[in-house]
Amino acid sequence: MNAWKQELDDFVRAFSGAYIFGIPLLFTMEMWWIGEYVNPWQLFAFLGLALLANLGLSFVAGFKRESTFITSIDEAIDAVAVGVIAATMMLFVLNQIRPGDPLESIIGKIVIQAVPLSIGASVANQVFGTDGEKNRQGEEGNKQQLKPWQELLSDVGATIIGGIFIGFSIAPTDEIPMLASAIGYSHLMGLIVFSLLISYGIVFASGFDEPSPEGPFQKPFTETMLAYLVSLLVAFVMLYLFGQIALDDPLLSIVEQTIVLAVPTTVGGAAGRLVI
C-alpha cells in the first residue's frame, strides 16, 4: 500500500477512535471549567500522563499496528498530537474556545481534553483494528446472505442503537441547551459539516469496516448522509423524551439543540454500524 495512504488511514482511524471514546467528555462542562482554572504545572502532569498512558497502550493497541519500543514512542507522540488537534477542532466548533479568549483558558481546555482523546486514538485498533479482522471475515460471510433492504435495515438499526448508546448519557445534561444557546449560524453549519466528516471517517476512511458494494445505501456518500439524518432524528427524539425540548419551543432552539446533540449521536451511530 502506498505509504501516504497508509499514514492517512492510520491517522483517520486515530481521530475516529479519539472521538468515539472522548465524545462524552467533550460535552462535559466541568471539563471546560477545569480547563479555565487549572495551573500550568497540572497541565504538565496531564501531558505526562497522556504520554505515559499512550506509550503503555501502544505496546498492546498501537494504531499503526507496530509494537517495537521506538515505534511505540512514535505512536505515543502521534496519539497525543491527535488528541490535541481533535480537542482543538471540537472545542472550536462547539464554541468553547474562541480566538479572543485568554491563552491559559484555551490551552487548559485543550490539554485536559487531549488526555482521553489521545487514549481513544491509541485503543482505536484494539477494538476496531487488526484484531477485528477475524470478526469481520466472519461478518462478511453473514453479510453476503443479506438482501440490500436487509443491509439497509441493519445499518439504520445500528445507527439508531449506537446513537442512543452514546447520546443517552449526553441528552439529559445541561450542556446541550448551554452549548446550543451560545452558538450562531456559522457554528451550526460547522457542526453539521464536522458530524458528516466524523461519520464518514469512522465508517469508510478509517479501515474499521469495508464498504460493501451491494445495495443503494452502501455507497459512502449516501450512507453518510442517510446516517446523519437518522442521527438527527435520534437526537430530536431523545431531547423530546428527556423534556429538553417541547414542540411549542421556538423552532431555532429545537434545531440548534438537535444539531448539537447530533454530533455525539452521529459518532455513536457510526460506531454502531461497525460493531453490529
Partner 1 sequence: MSDRREDQSKAGDQTRHTNNKQRSIAEWTTLTISVAILVGILGLVSWLHFSDSDRPAVITVEAQIDQIRQDESGYYLPVIVRNEGNITVEDVQVQAELDSGSGEPETADFLITFLVGDEEVHGTFIFQNDPSQGELTTAAGSFKFP
Using CB under 8 A, pick the residue from 28, 59, 81, 275 that binds partner 1: 81
Of 79 and 270, which has the nearer Cβ to partner 1?
79
Q: Is 47 in the site for partner 1 (CB under 8 A)?
A: yes
Q: Retrieve residue 158's grid coordinates.
A: 445500528
Instruction: Report the nearest approach of partner 1 to the CB of residue 8 (Å).
Output: 8
Instruction: Report the nearest approach of partner 1 to the CB of residue 196 (Å).
Output: 24
Of 7 and 214, which has the nearer Cβ to partner 1?
7
Q: Is 124 in the site for partner 1 (CB under 8 A)?
A: no
Cβ burial 214-237 (10 Å sphere, 16+ → b, else e): ebebbeeeebbebbbebbbbbbbb
Instruction: Report the nearest approach of partner 1 to the CB of residue 218 (Å).
Output: 26
> Which residues are within 8 A (CB) of 6 and not within 5 positions of it... i.e. 6 or more apart?
none
Instruction: Report the nearest approach of partner 1 to the CB of residue 107 (Å).
Output: 5
How many positions of this chain bind partner 1 (CB under 8 A)?
33
CA angle at 94 for the pair 251 and 25, rounded to the nearest 5°: 115
Instruction: With contacts defined by CB under 8 A, name the span among 102-110, 119-127, 193-201, 232-240 that binds partner 1.
Output: 102-110
Instruction: Report the nearest approach of partner 1 to the CB of residue 250 (Å).
Output: 18
Of 74 and 209, which has the nearer Cβ to partner 1?
74
Instruction: Report the nearest approach of partner 1 to the CB of residue 74 (Å).
Output: 6
DSSP per-residue letters across 44-98:
HHHHHHHHHHHHHHHHHH-TTS--SHHHHHHHHHHHHHHHHHHHHHHHHHTTSS-
CA angle at 193 for the pair 189 and 242, rounded to the nearest 5°: 75
Among candidates 87, 13, 12, which has minimal Cα distance to 43?
Answer: 87
What are the two backbone dihedrals, phi and then psi, of residue 183, each rounded to the nearest 5 degrees?
-115, 150
**Cell 442521527 belongs to which residue?**
231
Of 73 and 275, which has the nearer Cβ to partner 1?
73
Cβ burial 157-174 (10 Å sphere, 16+ → b, else e): ebbbbbbbbbbbebbebe
Q: Is 101 in the site for partner 1 (CB under 8 A)?
A: yes
Binding track, positions 157-176, relative to partner 1; x by CB under 8 A:
--------------------
Residues contributing to the site for partner 1 (CB under 8 A) = 3-4, 6-7, 11, 33, 36-37, 40-41, 43-44, 47, 65-66, 68, 74, 77-78, 80-82, 84-85, 101-105, 107, 110-111, 114
